[in-house]
């Protein structure tokens, strides 16, 4: 069977894969927001980079109260299908120390999730942001200050994280709620769609900055 176009971006430790740069998406149960974000990220990277294994990127997710082994919520699957992203083969995971230790960038759904990750230690503070916080910071970074894509996506990604961390104290959210992606768990499909649209919109400038390719 031919793998899905974005399947190669999902290497996990248990697969024996090595990665140059790991992006970890975190929400609560790891069945709604973080799976949507994970699979939309993989899909967008595959579209931009062609071969999804190019560049040494790995995209994964976990939950602070993760439903270990649980399937993705059905409405989340529907949202991903509507974006053309692959939802197959997903199982929920509880956030563990090793996930944070391995991650080069942690993007969380809310400020509480960010605080939870940072409280775990592992010098995670400078590489952990809410998704929408990271988007806001990335928009303020001049792409010309980043390494060229020809030098490798991983080098560009590390520089992007360092630049965003340096800006964090200078570029604050207009309101605390501006950095939140609210939980659609148990909500009807229209709310899941609005969350999917919110996540998709937040990811686009991040992935453009990361890859140097607009969609």
Note the pLDDT tens digit of each residue in 82-124: 999 999 999 999 999 999 999 999 999 999 999 999 999 999 9
pTM here is: 0.90
Which helix (H) or strand (E) segment holds residue 157: the answer is helix 153-167
pLDDT of residue 15: 36
Note the pLDDT tens digit of each residue in 38-65: 999 999 999 888 765 557 889 999 999 9
- Under 8 Å between Cβ of 118 and 129: no
The Cα 49–Cα 62 span in angstroms is: 25
Grade residue 150 by pLDDT with cuts at 50, 70 and 90: confident
């Amino acid at each position: 069977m031919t793998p899905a176009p974005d399947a190669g971006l999902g290497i996990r430790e248990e697969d024996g894969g090595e990665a140059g740069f790991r992006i970890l998406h975190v929400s609560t149960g790891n069945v709604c927001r973080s799976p949507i974000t994970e699979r939309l990220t993989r899909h967008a990277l595959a579209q931009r980079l062609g071969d999804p294994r190019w560049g040494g990127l790995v995209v994964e997710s976990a939950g602070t109260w993760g439903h270990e082994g649980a399937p993705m919520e059905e409405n989340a699957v529907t949202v991903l299908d509507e974006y053309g992203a692959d939802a197959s083969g997903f199982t929920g995971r509880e956030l563990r120390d090793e996930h944070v230790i391995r991650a080069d960038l942690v993007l969380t759904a809310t400020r509480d999730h960010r605080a939870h990750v940072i409280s775990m230690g592992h010098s995670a503070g400078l590489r952990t942001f809410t998704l929408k916080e990271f988007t806001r910071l990335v928009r303020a970074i001049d792409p010309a200050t980043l390494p060229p894509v020809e030098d490798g996506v991983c080098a560009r990604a590390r520089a992007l994280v360092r630049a965003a961390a340096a800006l964090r104290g200078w570029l604050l959210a207009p309101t605390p709620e501006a950095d939140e992606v609210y939980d659609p768990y148990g909500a009807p499909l229209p709310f899941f769609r609005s969350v999917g649209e919110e996540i998709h919109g937040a990811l686009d400038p991040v992935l453009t900055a990361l890859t140097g390719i607009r969609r």
